[in-house]
Amino acid sequence: VMGNCSNTLGIPPGKGPHQVGCADLMVDHTVQGSFFRLYYPCEPSPSSEKPCWIPSQEYFDGLADFMKINRSFAERIFNYLYGSYRIPAFWEAPFKSNGKYPLVIFSHGLGAFRTLYSAICAELASRGFVVASVEHRDESGSQENLEKVWMYYRALKPGEEEFSLRNNQVQQRANECIRALKILDEINSGKSVTNVLQSEFDWSSLKNSLDLCKTAVMGHSFGGATVIETLCKELTFKCGVALDTWMVPLKEEIFPNVKQPILFINSEKFQWAGNIIRMRKLDSASIQRKMITIRGTVHQSFPDFTFLTGNWIGKVLKLKGDIDPHLAMDLSNKASLAFLQRHLSLDKDFNQWDPLIDGKDENLIPGTNIHVMSHKAPEHS
């Protein structure tokens, strides 16, 4: 793990009643395996510490590759800027057994990895969800794999057809979300699981603690496309929350097969007409499909970076929008909680935020800010 991660400021902790713990599970090193970080309601445990936000140096290398910058230069920059941050959760704190919790599977964006959305995952866990943030092995992220051989983000080869690569990747990503669900289903029914990572966490303490009838899938950008692909493949997922979705990897012919409710939460700056038009093709008279846009946000307003960079650098690197990042994250999380309560039939008080699902807030736009010509292009065009 990294050096002195002294900075507990930065990423905001969950606002709900539960303390949050986190633990990593890697079932096996093959591509058939599964690797995710679990965020869960935990017993107060002063002895546990909050782990570093970036688990190991190789993640900085993965980020450097992704951003096409020199690795050693990036390592120095990232260590200086981000090396000291912790995530708002207690490492391997004892699981709080308290009835059955609903489950959310989270899918990260292109070039990202399982720890970068901890503000979202920790908030949900503090509200009484168990959240599995999957680490995808489709070479769209950076992660440890195959006996610690690293599979870095793979840039497109010249001439490689982006769509077929991305569609294959989104299928693999969906399968990884479904595998994580299956593994948690086995743990829930008391099956013992071997964790290839050194971990003191007692995974058997999760036995009978998940209500798998109340399962949702959530994701950012490429992870938003993964939400749609996963809903299509696995009906156990009752609904989806898609954050600033990148619709490019998806085949439109699967859209009629998606039967579950979806909440699209978009940033103001990332979206474009073609992408919105494809989201609109998922509109349905019979299945609830909602869309809201958060004023003053950018694509990176959803991952944790948005909290960790000073205003000046954050704006230049487009990691921050004009809106206060805490306010933007609050609106996104509360709208998500209200939508999850509605479609997982939870008996909580998240329905207090129902107006946000309809964009009723001064910092929200119902639907989108992108003007999409509503008429269809003439057939003969």
Sites for ligand 71H among residues 209-248 (CB under 6 A): 221-222, 246
The reply to whether 303 sits near ligand 71H by the rule CB under 6 A is yes
Cα 293 to Cα 55, 169, 219, distances in angstroms: 32, 27, 16
Catalytic residue check, 34: no
Contact 125, 89 (CB under 8 A): yes
The reply to whether 69 sits near ligand 71H by the rule CB under 6 A is no
- DSSP H or E run through 41: strand 35-42
Catalytic residue among 34, 221, 267, 336: 221
- Choice between 31 and 317, CB closer to ligand 71H: 317
Sites for ligand 71H among residues 148-177 (CB under 6 A): none
The reply to whether 59 sits near ligand 71H by the rule CB under 6 A is no
Binds ligand 71H by CB under 6 A, chosen from 267, 293, 300, 336 = 300
**Pairs from 29-35 (Cβ < 8 Å, separation ≥ 24):** 29/145, 29/146, 29/147, 29/196, 30/146, 31/137, 31/172, 32/179, 33/179, 34/134, 34/176, 34/179, 34/180, 34/183, 35/114, 35/134, 35/135, 35/137, 35/143, 35/144
The reply to whether 51 sits near ligand 71H by the rule CB under 6 A is no
Burial class (CB in 10 A: 0-12, 13-18, 19+), 185: middle
Catalytic residue check, 345: no
Please identify, among the stretches 125-133, 192-200, 298-306, 343-351, the one whose residues bind ligand 71H according to the rule CB under 6 A: 298-306
Binds ligand 71H by CB under 6 A, chosen from 95, 305, 350, 353 = 305
Please identify, among the stretches 42-50, 104-112, 232-240, 257-265, the one whose residues bind ligand 71H according to the rule CB under 6 A: 104-112
Please identify, among the stretches 65-73, 96-104, 345-353, 359-367, the one whose residues bind ligand 71H according to the rule CB under 6 A: 65-73
The reply to whether 121 sits near ligand 71H by the rule CB under 6 A is no
- Choice between 66 and 91, CB closer to ligand 71H: 66
Catalytic residue check, 136: no
Burial class (CB in 10 A: 0-12, 13-18, 19+), 377: exposed
Residue with tokens 């999760």: 206
Catalytic residue among 108, 136, 299, 343: 299
Catalytic residue among 244, 304, 330, 361: 244
Cα 302 to Cα 54, 108, 165, distances in angstroms: 17, 10, 25
The reply to whether 110 sits near ligand 71H by the rule CB under 6 A is yes
Residue 52's φ and ψ, nearest 5 degrees, are -65, 150
The reply to whether 88 sits near ligand 71H by the rule CB under 6 A is no
Contact 89, 126 (CB under 8 A): no
Residue of 239, 238, 240 lying closest to 225 (CA atoms):
240
User: Could you tell me whether strands 101-107 and 90-91 are parallel, antiparallel, or unpaired per DSSP bridges?
Assistant: unpaired
The reply to whether 111 sits near ligand 71H by the rule CB under 6 A is yes
Q: Where do contacts with ligand 71H occur on this chain (CB under 6 A)?
A: 63, 66-68, 109-112, 116, 221-222, 246, 299-300, 303, 305, 317, 319
Annotated catalytic residues are: 221, 244, 299
